[in-house]
Amino acid sequence: MPLITKKALAFAGKTAIIDPKGNYTYQQLIDASTQWAHRFLKGQSDLNGARIAFMVSPGFDYVAVQWGIWQAGGVAVPLCVTYPLASLAYVLEDTAAEQVVIDAEFEYVLLNYANENGIIPHLVSKPFLAEVLSLPSISSDRPAMILYTSGTTSLPKGVVSTHANIDFQMECLIQAWEWKETDRTICMLPLHHIHGIINVVGCSLSVGGICEFIPKFSEEAVFGRLLSGELTVFMAVPTIYFKLISHWDSFSEDQKQFVFQKLKAFRLMVSGSAALPVSVMEKWHVISGHWLLERYGMTEIGMAISNPFHGVRKPGHVGIPLPGVQVRLMGDEEEIKEDLVPGEIQIKGPNVFQAYWNKAQATVETFTEDAWFKTGDVAHLDQGYFKILGRSSVDIIKSGGYKLSALEIEEVIRQHPNVADCGVVGLADDEWGEIVAVVLVLTTDLELSVLNTWLRERLPGYKVPRKYLIQEELPRNAMGKVTKNDLKLMFS
């Protein structure tokens, strides 16, 4: 039985969640999730690891469904609420989801597909009242969640985390960042990735705090809540800080003073999921009086490295290993111990995921022989602090905090009948970290707006290229391989 649902009992009468539909206590969360568990079980005693997908807007219903799946012994598969059907279908097929929960606003996207493909749909809009019976006892080594992440393979891989992984990932942040029952935070991040799921919602509800949700990020909505004087913790990706800073630039001097007073009162402000530019960290300090706490993580491992809650938060550095997480830097032959020598970050500990779903070979390949997880991120040490220098694969792009695979995007683009070949790269960008760009070789003329619309039906918006360049051919090296660095240069 997951720690989080057990802990919730201790805070039963307290407010847990505030979302656009209302305020909800921990008791309501427990009751609703118990109902969902029975709805999934349909009289069985245990789901025994069946995958239950859900396309539910961030808020009370999302958490109730997630806890319901866990209480019933299922594996939670959260779906991105902005995915086109093709991307949703990939996840549903790959996990062989048996049941899917669909929020009212997404019925038009998914209900027909579920019915046609033998997946039992549950509509959030249809109330359900079950007789409350006993629920299975779930050991912590059982799989709890599958999140999809893009990597060096073309199609996204499902990352299977156990209950023990998730509990540890939350516990180590609660300890390191001193989460408290009195904390109140806001979630505007998508809930198909760990940043929102573990760091924001999971930690907040594990300590009996209040988690507010806004359905979609906007600078106005987030500033509105930041200035309420009610929040204590704020976590976001660098792109969000960049956007908030741009918005703040338009404020009057009096408004800026007011903003400073309100933000200064926060207990903690965190940035992660992509490199935090030093300029953003410094400007946010002017705006709020806070040195943002930058940390480093990954879907497969939760958080691994963090600047200290107390102590120096070093700009441009991601900090020191979190409690209980082992981190090493590996060179070509041996572990690197000296400062300023680059190596791959490798991780060991109870935070590390169990396996890639149905990909035994990829799972084996991502671990060293002595069982360290290979992140593919390159860093060096600088007086005890890790500094991320880049990634070992040029095909991985981070845009707006999302990890994208150039290979996946290329494969989709190549399916267009007018495209002979293409090469996708990430270009450095102040706001998004990187933006997706593509060099196209066409068979016949093609309106780029037509291609863009075609791609939006097949890829989520954040994977669709922002820059296009048409060329006669792609640059290749002596081995005939497309040289991505030359592709990048074409855009400069």
Using CA atoms, how far apart are residues 54 and 125, in angstroms rounded to an integer? 13
Residue bearing tokens 């290229």: 465
Which residues, 6+ apart, have CB-to-CB distance to 279 below 8 Å?
A: none
- With contacts defined by CB under 6 A, name the span among 33-41, 84-92, 182-190, 269-277 that binds ligand AMP: 269-277
Q: Which of 58, 68, 158, 272 binds ligand AMP (CB under 6 A)?
A: 272
Using CA atoms, how far apart are residues 410 and 129, in angstroms rounded to an integer? 47
Q: How far is the CB of 189 from ligand MLC (least distance, A)?
A: 4
The answer to whether 234 touches 293, Cβ cutoff 8 Å, is no
Buried b / exposed e over 24-58, threshold 16 CB at 10 Å, is bbbebbbebbbbbbbbbbeeeeebeebbbbbbbbb
Q: Which of 57, 273, 351, 405 binds ligand MLC (CB under 6 A)?
A: 273
Using CA atoms, how far apart are residues 235 and 209, in angstroms rounded to an integer? 15
Residue placing its CB nearer to ligand AMP in the complex, 60 or 373: 373
Residue placing its CB nearer to ligand AMP in the complex, 135 or 235: 235
Binding mask 292-331 for ligand MLC (x = CB under 6 A): -----xxx--------------------------------
Residue placing its CB nearer to ligand AMP in the complex, 233 or 298: 298
379 binds, among ligand AMP, ligand MLC, none (CB under 5 to 8 A by kind): none
Instruction: Please tell me whether residue 113 binds ligand MLC under the rule CB under 6 A.
Output: no
Using CA atoms, how far apart are residues 230 and 184, in angstroms rounded to an integer? 7
Helices (H), 83-162: 85-95, 107-116
Instruction: Please tell me whether residue 189 binds ligand AMP under the rule CB under 6 A.
Output: no
Q: How far is the CB of 263 from ligand AMP (least distance, A)?
A: 21
The token pair that represents 457 in the structure block: 């039906």
Q: HSE (CB half, 13 Å, CA atoms) of 451?
A: 28
190 binds, among ligand MLC, ligand AMP, none (CB under 5 to 8 A by kind): ligand MLC
Instruction: Please tell me whether residue 169 binds ligand MLC under the rule CB under 6 A.
Output: no
Instruction: Please tell me whether residue 404 binds ligand AMP under the rule CB under 6 A.
Output: no
Using CA atoms, how far apart are residues 454 and 456, in angstroms rounded to an integer? 6
Instruction: Please tell me whether residue 351 binds ligand MLC under the rule CB under 6 A.
Output: no
Angle between helices 107-116 and 85-95 (to 10 degrees): 40
The token pair that represents 388 in the structure block: 């991320």
Q: Which of 122, 142, 193, 290 binds ligand MLC (CB under 6 A)?
A: 193
Q: Three-state SS for 404?
A: strand
The token pair that represents 72 in the structure block: 């019933």
The token pair that represents 379 in the structure block: 């860093």
- With contacts defined by CB under 6 A, name the span among 2-10, 52-60, 397-405, 406-414 that binds ligand MLC: 397-405
240 binds, among ligand MLC, ligand AMP, none (CB under 5 to 8 A by kind): ligand MLC
Using CA atoms, how far apart are residues 362 and 330, in angstroms rounded to an integer? 20
Q: How far is the CB of 475 from ligand MLC (least distance, A)?
A: 24
Instruction: Please tell me whether residue 185 binds ligand AMP under the rule CB under 6 A.
Output: no
**H-helix or E-strand spanning residue 363:** helix 360-365
278-317 residues near ligand AMP, rule: CB under 6 A: 294, 296-299
Residues that bind ligand MLC (CB under 6 A): 189-190, 193-196, 216-217, 237, 239-240, 272-273, 297-299, 399-402, 432, 435, 461-462, 466
The binding site for ligand AMP (CB under 6 A) comprises: 149, 193, 272-275, 294, 296-299, 318, 375, 377, 388, 391, 398, 403
